[in-house]
Amino acid sequence: MKKVLSFDVDQTLNVAKTPIPKEIAEVLIKLLRADFKICPISGQKFDQFLVQIVNPLLENGATPDDLKNLHLFVAQGTQYYRFASDSWEKVYNFPLTEEQVKEITNALETSAKELGFWEEDKLKEGDEIIENRLSQVTFSALGQTAGTKEKYAWDPDCKKREQIVKGAKKLAPDFEFEIGGTTSINAFIPGMNKVFGMTHLMEELNVEKADILYFGDMTQPGGNDYPIVEMGIDTITVRSHEDTLYALTGILGVTNNL
């Protein structure tokens, strides 16, 4: 039996950039109470983890005791937060320097503009295409607050982002660029991807690869979940939160029968 259930977020636990649905929240609460360590690991920033995961759990009956089994691995796991007493504690963070952020930002913007994929006119007021997430820089073609339908339609086969990555890599060869979500590219120091996050997860929770089951939607080569597959961690590829719900319901059923 696995001890840790780890997840990508968008397209795995929810519809991109929206709170996890009630049925996902309810099954996660049951798994937390069954003493599973629940460990989302995503390119998103901490505040988005609160909006999309923590708040819906609380709204559906999670208690502070439940949250002690919830571990948030932010920005691909280069930041780690755990619940201590009555608040979230940042255990570690590995931020980029200002110069690194500037170099990555310039590379992504230049590449997108040269390809005609810089769509600033489609942004909602106050939104931005490139966001500094401290330990990574993230390109979101339509911004963070664009509608789900628009995001799904923008680059369903990842071809636009593959071209942007190719151009950005030439301009900033010292960094890695990884496709994630529906319109995103995450950029970071080599090695600071989900392998880094998962390695620290194992260290912090004192578990081994065999103790972990990972769920993700971008498990193909070049996707931001693929490094987990390469690590040899048992992985379930999903295409939606409905797929994840189906699998988790099965795990919960087996657990209840033990």
213 residue type, one letter: L
Supply the pLDDT for residue 33.
Answer: 97
What residues contact residue 72 under an 8 Å CB cut-off, 6+ apart? 39, 40, 46, 49, 53, 54, 80, 81, 82, 88
The per-residue pLDDT for 258 is 61
The whole-number pLDDT of residue 1 equals 85
Tell me the mean pLDDT per 10 residues along the chain, length 258. Answer: 95 92 98 98 93 98 97 95 94 95 98 97 91 93 88 94 97 94 92 93 98 95 90 97 97 83
The three-state (H, E, C) secondary structure of 113-124, written as one string: HHHCCCCHHHCC
Nearest to 67 by CA among 101, 22, 33, 16: 33
Domains detected in the chain: 4-94+192-257 (3.40.50.1000), 98-188 (3.30.1240.20)
The answer to whether the CB of 214 falls within 8 A of the CB of 235 is yes
pTM of the model: 0.85
